[in-house]
Amino acid sequence: MSRFWSDVVRRLSPYVPGEQPRNADLVKLNTNENPYPPSPRALALVSADIGPSLRLYPDPNSVGLKDAVARGTGLERSNVFVGNGSDEVLALSFLAFFSGGNALQFPDVSYSFYPVWCQLFGIEAERIALAEDFRVDLTPYRGGKGGIIFPNPNAPTGIALALSDIEALLRDEPDRLVVVDEAYVDFGAESTAALVPRFENLLVVQTLSKSRSLAGLRVGWALGQPDLISALDRVKNSFNSYPIDRVAEQVAVAALDDESHFRECRERIIATRTQTTSRLQTLGFEVLPSSANFIFVHHPRAQASELFEGLRERDILVRYFEQPRIDGHLRITIGTDEEMMRLVSVLAELVRAA
């Protein structure tokens, strides 16, 4: 700790991202990356077109990218805000909409960055317990005062809410901003994007990191009515006016416009998820119904922490959360079929020995 640290910095307990080890032989199933390459059309741009233009600042409004997002979602450019990963978009949203206000409600088991941003921006966090079966129950959110945020599907459970349930919440709580974090929506949930024109109180946050295989590019966006987008622009332009660099913008547009590559990779991941789920169930695992590119699993006879260590010793990395309610579970990213076969065979051994 340095004497130059502000009080805010002293009090922070920062988010801890999943490990990003340098060992290339690892079966890496711990941070929900996509096992397939980005669109070849997107990759071709990097060396060819973009290089010489890098001496110039990028478009601070990322109009080309906003238009690609608008095309893909059926919305207008004025409904789109883009940022350096959806983490940045979420952080700016916390500052723009929730700081200085009432407590922000979110599920007690959810994306662990939410409480970190609350702390950073001095927002009171109100954690709402998941139902017994790990679903998000929206009933206890009703009648509150401040904003609401949840991922759909939720992380790390992978369970999705029905669009009709979210719509009912938006209708019943018109004076509260509801942020739906759709990082995993493409893997099996219904997006709320189409509700944006009808609900002033809805902000939808999406990313290229998971379903478009571009976690390394850092591009995400928010969808909302123009008033909400203007608030985000005000905050962005008070912090970093060029969050999307030239490479990121062009690669992102090419990836967004390559629907067929996107669909093919998504279908493969969904098929691998179905197959891995049934193989793990055969080994006695309980697998929560996942609409994401990961599964959340529990074995009644084997300790999750020991399975985690056992996998690690065999160069397979998954995610274990030492946290009440979920310390009996592992979160496993869906990799390729070969990676998942290796995972299942090691888990079979570990469970037999438990």
Ligand X SMILES: *Cc1c(COP(=O)(O)O)cnc(C)c1O
Interacting residues with ligand X (CB under 6 A): 85-87, 111, 151, 155, 181, 183, 207, 209, 215, 220
Minimum distance from residue 16 beta carbon to ligand X (Å):
14
Nearest residue (CB) to ligand X, 255 versus 302? 255
Nearest residue (CB) to ligand X, 35 versus 151? 151
Minimum distance from residue 346 beta carbon to ligand X (Å):
25
Nearest residue (CB) to ligand X, 111 versus 262? 111
Count Cβ neighbours within 10 Å for each residue of 329-341 and write b for 16 or more, e otherwise: bbbbbbbeeebbe
Nearest residue (CB) to ligand X, 218 versus 279? 218
Minimum distance from residue 52 beta carbon to ligand X (Å):
28
Minimum distance from residue 353 beta carbon to ligand X (Å):
32
Minimum distance from residue 90 beta carbon to ligand X (Å):
6
Minimum distance from residue 149 beta carbon to ligand X (Å):
10
Nearest residue (CB) to ligand X, 97 versus 111? 111
Minimum distance from residue 292 beta carbon to ligand X (Å):
8
Name the residue among 219, 213, 224 with its Cα closest to residue 268: 213
Nearest residue (CB) to ligand X, 292 versus 304? 292
Residues in contact with 271: Cβ distance below 8 Å, sequence separation at least 6, in sequence order: none
Nearest residue (CB) to ligand X, 113 versus 341? 113
Nearest residue (CB) to ligand X, 222 versus 347? 222
What is the bridge-based pairing of β-strands 80-83 and 220-223? antiparallel
Minimum distance from residue 34 beta carbon to ligand X (Å):
11
